[in-house]
A and B are shown apart, each in its own frame.
Chain A
Amino acid sequence: MPAARRRLRPLQLHARLTHSSSSDTTHFGFQNVPRHKKEDMVKSVFSSVASSYDVMNDAMSLGVHRLWKHDFVSTLNPGASGPSKCIDLAGGTGDIALRILDHAREKHYDRETTVDIVDLNPDMLKEGQKRFKQTMYHNTPQVSFHVANAQALPPAQFPSDNYDLYTIAFGIRNCTDIPAVLREAHRVLKPGGTFACLEFSRVDNSLLSTLYDSYSFSIIPLMGSIIAADRDSYQYLVESIRRFPSQPDFSEMIREAGFTTGAPREGKGGAWRNLWGGVAAIHTGVKL
């Protein structure tokens, strides 16, 4: 079944959709598509890439994504103030959740921190469940898997003022309504809880930006076609990075959702921190 899905070419859907008369459109990579269609299109992209997602991430970023995720979780330092209730959105393959639990256990001898992994895509969650079966957290209350939409988390399943830490890594750029995601994050966090987002971002150095663009638009889709037999999905992933708001704009969106951030600048004590010159960035905010 996964092999059949890889041959589906989900991006061919948009060829019919561009003639839509609807004026309520949003971006899907560099194309404009009706808002109500984007969610399904993103879902099928990730269904297509789910089984080779981690391999492709290693190939595309030359393993650097592991360093970024390690940096992300180390900075958050879960477990430092006692057991934390965490929620990881777009966390299908369980990468961040596993790092959170390992960090809390290894650094703070904490076996009570929990992570609820939430993803829109059941195929990505299945990959996460497979990964966790190889760990000591399988079948424990420390981890659970939920299919849900980050823009509208069901209140019955995800009550308000419930979590200490909300993380979303390389997922928010795929959401149709980013402010809605941020509002939901604000809702489910407890007062004093932290929002943290790791995402591809804008490179501030012009030389690095040129090299990065060449690499992104030439090499990555080619790798997608060779390793995952799905060039179009990886083309979308690269394009979606370019459509994401800049670091200052995104930090303002976080503040508009009701979060308090650090100073509106990059770096130590700032609202965001660039990684590798802005190829990725960590944005944080606190619900006060």
Chain B
Amino acid sequence: MDTFPRICFRAILQHALPLISTHGFTRKTLSLAVMQLPNPHSQPLSETAITALFGNGDDARRTLINGWLKGGLEDMQHGKTTGGTMQHILKRRLRWNEPVLEHLPEAFALLVAPQQTLPRLDIRPAISHAASVADEACYLTSDIPEGTSWYVRRAVIASIYTAAELHQITSPQTSEAFLDELLEKSESVRRVVAESSLFAEYVGKSWGSLIKSRGIF
């Protein structure tokens, strides 16, 4: 009796991603996605159906944006096979943005826009996005330090990626060079910090020995 195979809402979301470059992060994109399915519909989905599957008003657009961000994370895994360095993987993630660059500012603004009266701005989605990219990049490069270094490393990569992504929105041609520069600087800062802490440890131990030799304690 049921001649229609069950189609998951995620399949519609997947088929909507290629349409974003043309139609933006809009409900229209979701409605047209059903015409790209393996058994395509002849008509786009109605507003009621979009609401039923993805949420009312801008909630559907947020669902689409989050689906696209998740697609970006999955695409980063392909970067592992073509280079595998932090540089390659983050560059691959930046390239995921390229087809939809003109729609990104509005998408990010929608994510942080308040959905309640307070707070006036919700930066959690922005932090979550940067943290997810950093975590995925560290995992794919097998960069898994221990202790507090785990958090420090991810915070550094998240900051670098956020800066590079913001740069990409204003100047897409120089974004990869900007990313290289930031990664290089963070490497040299890391070396300086490591050497400084080694030196500070050496100085601290020396002072400790001096004080002990004086018999003060």
Chain A contact residues, CB within 8 Å of chain B: 75-78, 80-81, 84, 164-165, 183, 186-187, 191-196, 255, 257-258, 260-263, 268-269, 284-288
Q: Which residue of A lies closest to B60 (CB)?
A: A269
Chain B contact residues, CB within 8 Å of chain A: 1-2, 4, 6-9, 12, 34, 37, 41, 43, 45-49, 51-56, 59-60, 62-63
Q: Judging by beta carbons under 8 Å apart, are A269 and B59 in contact? A: yes
Q: Judging by beta carbons under 8 Å apart, are A260 and B7 in contact? A: yes
Q: Which residues of A contact B53 (CB under 8 A)?
A: 260-262, 269, 284, 286
Q: Judging by beta carbons under 8 Å apart, are B51 and A77 in contact? A: yes
Q: Of B37, B53, B54, B60, which is in contact with the most chain A CB atoms at under 10 Å from its CB?
A: B53
Q: Within the complex, what minimum Cβ distance (angstroms) separates B142 from chain A?
A: 32
Give the CA-CA distance A260 to B60 in the complex, in Å: 15
A selection of 25 A-B contacts at a CB cut-off of 8 Å is A75-B51, A76-B48, A76-B52, A77-B48, A77-B51, A77-B56, A80-B47, A80-B48, A81-B48, A165-B48, A187-B1, A191-B4, A192-B41, A192-B45, A195-B52, A260-B9, A260-B12, A261-B53, A263-B9, A268-B56, A269-B63, A284-B51, A284-B52, A286-B45, A286-B52
Given contacts A187-B1, A261-B52, 14 further A-B contacts (CB under 8 A): A76-B52, A77-B47, A80-B47, A84-B46, A192-B43, A192-B46, A192-B49, A194-B46, A255-B6, A260-B7, A263-B9, A269-B53, A286-B53, A288-B7
If over half of A's interface residues share one DSSP class (helix, strand or loop), that class is named, otherwise mixed; here it is mixed
Q: Within the complex, what minimum Cβ distance (angstroms) separates A189 from chain B?
A: 10
Give the CA-CA distance A186 to B1 in the complex, in Å: 10
Give the CA-CA distance A187 to B2 in the complex, in Å: 8
Given contacts A75-B56, A192-B34, A288-B41, contact A164 B6 (CB under 8 A): no
Give the CA-CA distance A196 to B62 in the complex, in Å: 22
Q: Judging by beta carbons under 8 Å apart, are A186 and B2 in contact? A: yes
Give the CA-CA distance A268 to B52 in the complex, in Å: 9
Q: Of A258, A262, A269, which is in contact with the most chain B CB atoms at under 10 Å from its CB?
A: A269
Give the CA-CA distance A106 to B92 in the complex, in Å: 49
Give the CA-CA distance A187 to B1 in the complex, in Å: 8
